[in-house]
Structure 1
Amino acid sequence: MEISYDDVGKTKTARTVLVNGRKIRVDRQAVEIWKENPEALFNLVWNADKREFCLSGPIE
């Protein structure tokens, strides 16, 4: 699943958000990339230890 800046509500801080019923951790690196390029897309990666989705990317 690809995640865009609009999907996470254009968050300005690193936090956990709900997208389509999935808990997704948005880290500081993703926020910094979106500040420079709001069109960037990220892949979701399941983190089994924390039992949540994390962003991986950006997709080029």
Structure 2
Amino acid sequence: MQMGSGRGSGMGRGGGRQGLGPVRECRCTNCGYTQSHQPGVPCANQACPKCGSVMVGV
């Protein structure tokens, strides 16, 4: 197996794209209610205070 010159088209060291950043608010999947996100508490673990459905981070 032969080694190249190290100038390939790979992502390289520390490559990869960054995420969108922290979640700012949680939104209900049913009624659309939004509330601010509490750090350390996943939105999916919170129930909507209006209708009780699952919340998602946005």
Which structure shows the higher strand fraction?
1
Higher helix share: 1
Normalized against structure 2, the TM-score is what?
0.26
| Bigger Cα Rg | 2
- Asked which structure has the greater RCO (Cα within 8 Å, sep 6+), the reply is 1
If the length of structure 1 is used for normalisation, what is the TM-score? 0.26
